[in-house]
């Protein structure tokens, strides 16, 4: 079964996390998108986020979203691990479960691949990546001019994302949720309908 593996904080999941994953699945003719939430301690301590929903809450949010979408699965492999696994380890584990995997991420991660990730060569060579390209990111030029990325050009699939999703972010949702008078309309625009109960 062909699967796009979508790791991340999902702190909380946004409508873009859902709509763009389905878009990528369709464009790449994959069977599934597997959401892999990372551990709260990693989000808070390693990534330095200002706040993290706990592991159980983020897992529940994703499972609630996946219930009505037969193409979506949620994997708790990283949450159950004693320490935060590397993405390559997660991909290998899912491959052992019978999935033909490719890594899915946004174009902001592309520039981090060489220095910010572990086992990058193995990820690109063994699995390949699908990159959701924001309209203001010139990923083609970046790949062509970067010695490391250009070496793996054939392992990278670029998908240009619709303009409407350019300004969706979990950090924006967190900020709105913690404000005294949150903009309910804005929150409903950013959140998938399954998570409208987060709005007071």
pTM: 0.93
What are the tens digits of pLDDT across the range 136-152?
889 999 999 999 999 99
What are the tens digits of pLDDT across the range 34-79?
999 988 776 665 655 666 688 999 999 999 999 999 999 999 999 9
C-alpha of 3 from chain center:
13
Helices (H), the chain: 15-28, 40-41, 55-67, 77-80, 87-96, 113-116, 120-126, 139-145, 147-151, 170-178, 184-190
- Angle at CA of residue 59, ends 44 and 116, nearest 5°: 40
All domains in the chain, ordered by first residue: 2-164 (3.40.50.620)
Structure tokens at 3: 């699967």
CA neighbours within 13 Å on the CB side: how many for 63? 8
User: Can you tell me the mean pLDDT for 194-199?
Assistant: 87
Residue 110 CA to residue 105 CA, distance in Å, equals 8
């Amino acid at each position: 079964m062909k699967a796009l593996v979508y790791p991340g904080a999902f702190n909380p999941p946004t409508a873009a996390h859902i709509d763009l994953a389905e878009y990528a699945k369709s464009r790449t003719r994959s069977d599934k998108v597997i959401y892999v939430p990372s551990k709260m301690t990693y989000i808070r301590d390693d990534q330095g986020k200002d706040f993290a929903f706990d592991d159980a809450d983020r897992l529940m949010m994703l499972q609630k979203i996946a219930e009505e979408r037969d193409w979506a699965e949620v994997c708790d492999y990283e949450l159950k691990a004693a320490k935060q696994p590397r993405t390559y380890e997660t991909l290998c584990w899912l491959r052992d479960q019978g999935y033909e995997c490719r890594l899915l991420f946004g174009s902001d991660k592309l520039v981090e691949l060489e220095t910010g990730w572990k086992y990058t060569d193995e990820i690109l060579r063994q699995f390949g990546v699908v990159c959701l390209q924001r309209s203001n990111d010139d990923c083609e030029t970046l790949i062509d001019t970067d010695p490391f990325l250009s070496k793996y050009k054939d392992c990278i699939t670029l998908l240009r994302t619709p303009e409407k999703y350019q300004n969706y972010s979990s950090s924006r949702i967190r900020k709105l949720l913690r404000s005294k008078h949150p903009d309910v309309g804005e929150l409903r625009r950013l959140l998938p309908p399954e998570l409208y109960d987060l709005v007071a």
